[in-house]
Amino acid sequence: MIACSCAVCTSSDPRNRRGRPCIHVTMGGLHIQVDAGPEFRQQCIREAITHIDLFLLTHSHADHILGMDDLRRFCDLRGFEGIPVYSSAHALERVRHVYPYAIGARPVTKGYPAFMLHEMPAELDLEVGTVRSTVLPHGPARVLGLVFEERATGAKFTYFTDCKEVPPEARELALGSHVVVLDGLRPEPHPTHMSLSEAVDTAAAIGAPTTYLTHMTHAVDHGPAEAELPASVRLAYDGLRLTL
């Protein structure tokens, strides 16, 4: 945190150095980016991300949308073609307002981004698998929860970030997932995010073999906090890679 010298902010544990949350999913060779916060450029360089075929935006809060301009490099790598962007109607309208110069099938000039906007359906059917979406409450905002299922392997992965709870229909959609990622902001309750204990209860209700918690604040010291969690629940960290 800015101007903070607490034990977590000054920790030598690299897992306590957290950028804004996003994920990169490779499914059957298709590269899907979910969200892009202010650190997106540095995250791509650090993790050697070289392809993005599809962009999914869970919601349009600043910590998830303000890195989208850096998708320009991936438009270059696509032969100066736009990137398909899927989200809710409300979030897409925000994208239009923030990035009016980037809406279209091709960049207006070389080196610019281009976003081809599509409203996210309940089930996005891709050649390599499906991405199902559901709505999660995040205070007055509504966030897309995403469930990925790879056709060739049957691997199923759920990503539910930035939510105060996971409604029954969303839990049902997540059943059978090999890995689930849940919002788990801090030990204390919060009006728009799940606390660690709320996330643990939700993980138990979904019943995945492994659940990772994300979007933690500096109130969470990675090592000691993770040691107190159930064996099936872990804390995510920047650079974490999973193979299902």
Are residues 27 and 115 both part of a single domain?
Answer: yes
Are residues 131 and 112 both part of a single domain?
Answer: no
Residue 100 lies in a domain: yes
- Judge contact between 145 and 158, C-beta under 8 A: yes
In the chain, what percentage of residues exceed pLDDT 70?
100
Residue 12 lies in a domain: no
Are residues 42 and 133 both part of a single domain?
Answer: no
Domain boundary among 120, 138, 160: 120
pLDDT at residue 215, rounded to an integer: 97
Range of the domain at 40: 21-120
**pLDDT tens, 153-182?**
999 999 999 999 999 999 999 999 999 999
Are residues 211 and 130 both part of a single domain?
Answer: yes
Domain at 154, CATH number: 3.60.15.10
Are residues 98 and 141 both part of a single domain?
Answer: no
**pLDDT tens, 63-76?**
999 999 999 999 99
pLDDT at residue 196, rounded to an integer: 98
Residue 8 lies in a domain: no
Per-residue pLDDT band for 43 (boundaries 50, 70, 90) equals: very high
Beta bridge partners of 143: 136
